[in-house]
Structures are given as structure tokens and as C-alpha cells.
Amino acid sequence: MKKLPNLSLYIHIPWCSRKCYYCDFNSYQIKKKIPQKKYIENLLNDLDKDLLIINNRKIKSIFIGGGTPSLFDPEIIEYLICHVKKKLQVSKTAEVTIESNPNTIELKKINQFIKIGINRFSIGIQTFNTKILKSLGREYSRSQVQDLLYNISNIQNINFNIDIMHNLPGQSYNNAIYDLKKIILINPSHISWYELTIEPNTIFFYKKPKNIPNERTNLKILKKGKYMLEKAGYSQYEISSFAKPGFQCIHNKNYWDFNDYIGIGCGAHGKITQINGDIIRTIKNKNIDMFMKGLYLKKKYKIKERDLPIEYFINKFRLLNPIKKICFSSKTNIPYVNIENKIKIAVNQGYLLETQFYWTITKKGINFMNNLLEIFLN
């Protein structure tokens, strides 16, 4: 029997208090009371459909994302987790993450989430600058950010990530470095430090933000920021992810290692390998009204063999550690010889280094990632 990849569970809760101007995720700004219990029941029914194709594997991590799932009551999230565990084998050591924003969670709620089995928090801060927060469409202030981070950092042995951005409208070099200094002083176990990019179907796409730092300033921010993080004990293990020893995000690494994941909820995506080697993609309905009527699955399809190399490398190249050659064939069911010529092109152009057993992305490969990935496109 083929050894199947590790399996995680992603749960999408699409509501948020306000749609951020840069956000391209499937989310809905709250206009009336959220039907929390009804949505959870639909999530669990959606999960039942996917149970048929996962071959009874154990779940290594659960990620409750959105939207802003911390808008939901802790007792509703407890009901969800309890019933998920009745339907799936969940590892006793599973990482269970919930996303939150400073205006949707406070100390009491954090402690309630911990009691029901949440063992990792991911908090979207983005910046301490109130003016820039408003320019992004964020609904909280610097003081709310500071209060939350003070409270969470004083909880013993808590595992938490902070999302922080650079290349923001109106952000200077000093602003960006100040934000990072503040986060480092708080000493989270994990920091996601990433650059603002303008995505299609966002408010910023149709109304371009002004005063974005130029490329020279942004490169200066990146260089200084990475030095500061490394000096503070954070290792960069992915393009925008930095962790203290032992605190790399298990769930996100599962994606980047081209393992499997169930995706349930409005607009969620899944990837599930079958015993015969086929890799199935699932895409759930993005329309919340249709999802709530039980029309969960929008599309399910087998990934074509010709598309597997780019699907594999678009994830693996995000990780900065060497890639075992043997993993390519074991995860894609494609012989190495099928991509040998493309690997040679990438090596000759200076994007990859190759040894007998490994490929390693170079600094040029990181800086020109799109050029590298184009080599693997058909």
C-alpha cells in the first residue's frame, strides 16, 4: 500500500468585522448577527463528505482561519472541536491554531480558548501605527494592539504568532523597523513578517494606495529586519516566517511540504492523495448563502500529471531548507527523469544548487522566485 502524506484540517470561518483593503481571502463583513451554530453544523456536514476520501488518516494539525474566527463564541468553537474529534482521528499532540485580531479577542476569551484545546494563537497586528492601520482598513488602534500583546505575552508557556507587514502606504524605513523592534520585545514564539502585495479583487487593486515605500527602501527594511530577527533568536525557515527553536508552524509547513489537508467551510480548498497515487483537489462553495443551504462542494478534480511539478515546487521553494530529491517522486508519483531537464535549466541559471540527494534554492532563486517557477510551467 502507498504511504500517504501527513494530513491536516483547515476550517474556514468567513466573517470579519470589516474587510481590509488588501484582503483577497473569501470573507464577509458582518451586516447582522452571525448564525454561529448553524454555520458550525454546516461545517460538520461538509466534513462528513470529505471523510469518504481521506482513508482514515490521523490529523496532525487543525487551523481555524478566516475571516476572523475569534469573533465566534468559545463555546461554539468548543462544540466544533469536540465534534471534529468524534469524526476524525486527531493526534493528541496536534497543533490547534485560531486566527484573531486585537478588536475581537481579550484576555478572558484567550483563556477560554486555551481551556477548550486551542494551543496556538495567530494574531493579525500588521503595524503599531494607528494612521497606517486606518489606511489598511483595520478597525483597531495602537493602544488596543499594545493591551492585547501585553496580556497574551504574560500567559505562561503560550504559543503565539504575530502577523506584521512592511511595504505599507505611508510607511517609512524607521516606521517599519520600529514595528519590528516592538514585536521582538514582546517575544512571541513565531513571527510572520511579510510584504504588502496588491492582489486582484481587493479594494487596493481598484484604488491603488499612495506613498508605498520604493524598492530601495523596502530592500533596506528587509535586510535590517532579517538581521534583527536572527539576532533575537528567530530562524527564518520560510520566505516570510521566523520562529524560535521548536516553534515552526506545523500546519503551514504541512502545506509547503506538499502534504495533504482537508479544507472545510465557505471557500476552503483541500488536497487529498489517494491510495492509487491520484491527488484530488477540492474547492468549496464561496457563496455563503449556497453553503448554508448545504451546497458545499463547488469543484473536485484530479491534478493532471503535467501540473504536478509546478504545484509541488510552488510550495517547496517557499521553505529555505534543502529539498530531498526522493521526496519529489514520493509526493507526486512522478519519476525524477520527467523534470531532469528543467532542474538543469534552473541550476544553469543560478536559481538552484544540486547535489546527489538534494536541491537548494539560492539567494537569486529567492529574489527571483517567479522566474524560477516559470521554468516548471508547461
Contact 362, 353 (CB under 8 A): yes
CATH topology of domain 7-254: TIM Barrel (3.20.20)
Judged by DSSP in three states, 183 sits in: helix
- CA angle 30-199-321, nearest 5°? 110
pLDDT digits (tens, 9 = 90+) for 235-271: 999 999 999 999 999 999 999 999 999 999 999 999 9
Task: Please report which confidence band the pLDDT of residue 141 belongs to, taking 50, 70 and 90 as the band edges.
Answer: confident
Residue type, 220: K
In this predicted structure, the answer to whether residue 2 has a pLDDT above a threshold of 90 is: no
Mean pLDDT of 96-123: 96
Every domain range in the chain assigned CATH 3.20.20.70: 7-254
Task: Please report which confidence band the pLDDT of residue 57 belongs to, taking 50, 70 and 90 as the band edges.
Answer: very high
pLDDT digits (tens, 9 = 90+) for 185-229: 999 999 999 999 999 999 999 999 989 999 999 999 999 999 999
Q: Distance between CA atoms of 20 and 369, rounded to whole angstroms? A: 27
Q: Distance between CA atoms of 66 and 125, rounded to whole angstroms? A: 15
Return the pLDDT at 133.
Answer: 94
Return the pLDDT at 191.
Answer: 98
Q: Distance between CA atoms of 248 and 268, rounded to whole angstroms? A: 23
Q: Which residues fall within 8 angstroms of residue 242, CB to CB, at 6 or more apart?
A: 190, 191, 192, 193, 229, 234, 235, 236
pLDDT digits (tens, 9 = 90+) for 66-82: 999 999 999 999 999 99
Return the pLDDT at 83.
Answer: 98
